[in-house]
Amino acid sequence: MQFGYYMPTRIFFGQGCVVQNQAEFAKWGKRALIVTGRNSARVSGALQDVCAALDEQNIAWEIFDQIGENPTFAMVEAGGAAGRNFRPDMVVAIGGGSPLDAAKAIAVLTVNEIAAAQLYDGNYAVEPLPILAVPITAGTGSEVTQYSVLTDAERQTKRGFAQASLFAKAAFLDARYTQSLSHAVTVDTAVDALSHCVEGYFAKRATVISDALALEAIRRFGEVCGELDKPEISLAVREVLLYVSMLGGMVIAQTSTTAVHALGYSLTYFHQVPHGRANGLLMGEYLQFHAETAPDKIDCLLAAMQMQSIDEFKQWLDNLFPGKTCLTEQQVEEYAVLAAKTANIANTLRQPDHAELKQLLRKSLIVGGEG
């Protein structure tokens, strides 16, 4: 056996955890820049709890709420400028993956006056500010990862950077904040979380620990996946989804993601398919692609999902995401080229070549015409 494990984020999980553990904020200074999206932090109740906790701890705060979905370089540069004005000691991130990832970039840009494109170079002259994360979707697991994914318009894709210094110092996970999510975002984000576990399980970088975390998460997901197509999703189910999402983040913090995320980025960038749904459209064929390479892992995964076959898994996803994205043959060619440029492909347990990437897209989506 040979493996490493590193995940330095202190986790507080459970209803009321922000207020109950408010002393944690005071460990990181006297001024907090709150980075969030336009509405959801308020609607979910998370912002009120964080502000009350900061007030109680005599921490001055300012809100930067200009982060939209699939954050751009311009958004994080504006956040960095806001940070340099306010001079915070810490960044408190509240949101789905978009604000959480943007907050990591802003924690760097506040103390390093560099262009967002330089975030990918690493080796920042000044250590990023400490980050405290409050996820309000159950999907990305960004509160326990060292990754930040931004939209890179020049390269026409979404691109992540990874720095150990970008792990949040603490994460506060309260499932009540996910109750204001629409049904569609709840499902999309839940499938993103599952995808992290599945991809991590079928990653070259998988370890005994990441596999244990992935299987625990998939097993818990399997217990509630039948609830996702019901109109109302209970708080108890949401709590499981938040737990799964956190475990999924702990998995990819070790393994990184693979071909599903690499191909999915083009569906999001060019077709505005939400991130989790993009992964969901591709995950069934991804499993099929591994059927002969890793039959034991397929069996374990299906057992954890309480499913009999890959076909049943595909059928479940088809039901969740009716209506496939339509691509032209030319787009299939282009997206396979873009995906092949990512490190995710080399990390896929059965590494797909160019022709196989195109096949994965063709089998997962509706393809026709020359565009």
> Which residues of this chain interact with ligand NAP, rule CB under 6 A?
37-40, 43-44, 68-70, 95-99, 101, 136-137, 139-142, 145, 147-149, 158, 177-178, 180-181, 185, 189, 192, 275-276
Q: Is the CB of 65 or the CB of 192 nearer to Fe ion?
A: 192
Find the shortest distance in angstroms from Cβ 206 to Fe ion.
Answer: 17
**Nearest one of 290, 277, 269 to 349, comparing CA atoms:** 290
Q: Which does 62 bind (CB under 5 to 8 A by kind): ligand NAP, Fe ion, none?
A: none
Shortest-Cβ-distance residue relative to Fe ion: 192
Find the shortest distance in angstroms from Cβ 139 to Fe ion.
Answer: 7
Q: Is the CB of 83 or the CB of 99 nearer to ligand NAP?
A: 99
Report the alpha-carbon distance of residue 188 to residue 287 in Å, rounded. 19
Place of tokens 């191909």: 263
- Using rule CB under 5 A, residue 188 touches Fe ion: no
Pairing outcome for strands 157-162 and 60-67: unpaired
Q: Which does 185 bind (CB under 5 to 8 A by kind): ligand NAP, Fe ion, none?
A: ligand NAP
Strand (E) or helix (H) holding 276:
helix 275-289
Find the shortest distance in angstroms from Cβ 253 to ligand NAP.
Answer: 8
- Using rule CB under 5 A, residue 101 touches Fe ion: no
Q: Is the CB of 84 or the CB of 271 nearer to Fe ion?
A: 271
Q: Is the CB of 178 or the CB of 342 nearer to ligand NAP?
A: 178
Contact range with Fe ion by CB under 5 A, out of 100-108, 152-160, 189-197, 341-349: 189-197
Q: Which does 25 bind (CB under 5 to 8 A by kind): ligand NAP, Fe ion, none?
A: none
Report the alpha-carbon distance of residue 225 to residue 349 in Å, rounded. 25
In contact, 110 and 33? CB cutoff 8 Å? yes
Contact range with Fe ion by CB under 5 A, out of 37-45, 191-199, 284-292, 335-343: 191-199
Q: Which does 147 bind (CB under 5 to 8 A by kind): Fe ion, ligand NAP, none?
A: ligand NAP
Distances (CA, A) of 44 to 94, 104, 137: 10, 21, 10
Q: Is the CB of 2 or the CB of 6 nearer to ligand NAP?
A: 6
Q: Is the CB of 110 or the CB of 279 nearer to Fe ion?
A: 279
Contact range with Fe ion by CB under 5 A, out of 44-52, 70-78, 82-90, 190-198: 190-198
Amino acid at 51: C
Q: Is the CB of 124 or the CB of 335 nearer to Fe ion?
A: 335
Q: Which does 95 bind (CB under 5 to 8 A by kind): Fe ion, ligand NAP, none?
A: ligand NAP
Q: Is the CB of 180 or the CB of 351 nearer to ligand NAP?
A: 180
Compute, in degrees rounded to 10, the torsion defined by CA atoms 51, 53, 55, 57.
Answer: -150
In contact, 50 and 34? CB cutoff 8 Å? yes
Q: How many residues bind Fe ion (CB under 5 A)?
A: 1
Find the shortest distance in angstroms from Cβ 232 to ligand NAP.
Answer: 15
- Using rule CB under 5 A, residue 192 touches Fe ion: yes
Report the alpha-carbon distance of residue 2 to residue 24 in Å, rounded. 34
Q: Which does 344 bind (CB under 5 to 8 A by kind): ligand NAP, Fe ion, none?
A: none
Residues 6+ apart with CB under 8 A from 171: 9, 10, 11, 12, 132, 133, 134, 135, 143, 144, 246
Q: Is the CB of 60 or the CB of 164 nearer to ligand NAP?
A: 164
Strand (E) or helix (H) holding 161:
strand 157-162
**Nearest one of 136, 145, 150, 67 to 95, comparing CA atoms:** 136
- How many Cβ atoms are within 10 Å of 174's Cβ, its own excluded? 24
Residues 6+ apart with CB under 8 A from 295: none
Phi, psi of 168 (to 5 degrees): -60, 145
Burial of 84 (0-12, 13-18, 19+ CB in 10 A): middle
* Residues contributing to the site for Fe ion (CB under 5 A): 192
